[in-house]
């Protein structure tokens, strides 16, 4: 069985799947809640520098994450807040992740949306919140210029001084 296939749905007919999509199955929700609680504990116990995330209030399905800019990059003195929204089908479906803090970057648009393969077609149920945050942190220093969401940022990437100015002008700590 593929690693991104939810075993609960894999054994059902397409018709049954279609009829139940969008409904909250308490068993699915409980499994997701357990997984998110485990990930929260792992993050809290982690010695990982520069990334953190916690549920927003009592809602375990919506988290606020923070990442520090990677060392030796234009982002290194900055801290960014992100919103992570987990679907009921997590971890078989990637969470929706968006920057709250404005960030000038080739793979981040003006609304905070992120172009990162592991959040789209390369998602795996093996990934967790820590992996997501570390991948986004890495993306800051190593953008994919071939797939920009922000054309101006992609164009300026090869002009370090202009790029730095835009990054600093755009950054607003939230």
Active site residues: 115
CB 43 within 8 A of CB 55: no
Asked if the bond preceding 18 is cis, omega within 30° of 0, the reply is: no
Rounded distance between C-alpha atoms, residue 76 and residue 49, angstroms: 13
Count other C-beta atoms under 10 Å from residue 133's C-beta. 24
Rounded distance between C-alpha atoms, residue 56 and residue 15, angstroms: 35
Rounded distance between C-alpha atoms, residue 124 and residue 5, angstroms: 10
CB 171 within 8 A of CB 101: yes
Tokens of 101: 């803090």
């Amino acid at each position: 069985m593929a690693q991104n296939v939810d075993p609960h749905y894999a054994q059902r007919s397409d018709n049954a799947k279609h009829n139940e999509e969008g409904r909250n199955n308490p068993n699915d929700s409980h499994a997701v809640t357990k997984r998110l609680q485990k990930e929260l504990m792992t993050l809290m116990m982690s010695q990982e520098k520069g990334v953190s995330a916690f549920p927003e209030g009592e809602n375990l399905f919506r988290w606020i994450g923070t990442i520090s800019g990677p060392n030796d990059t234009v982002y290194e003195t900055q801290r960014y807040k992100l919103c992570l929204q987990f679907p009921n089908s997590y971890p078989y479906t990637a969470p929706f992740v968006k920057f709250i803090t404005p960030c000038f970057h080739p793979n981040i648009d003006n609304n905070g949306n992120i172009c990162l393969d592991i959040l789209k077609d390369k998602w795996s149920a093996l990934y967790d919140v820590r992996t997501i945050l570390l991948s986004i942190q890495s993306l800051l220093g190593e953008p994919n210029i071939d797939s920009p969401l922000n054309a101006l940022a992609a164009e300026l990437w090869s002009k370090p001084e202009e790029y730095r100015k835009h990054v600093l002008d755009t950054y607003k700590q939230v």
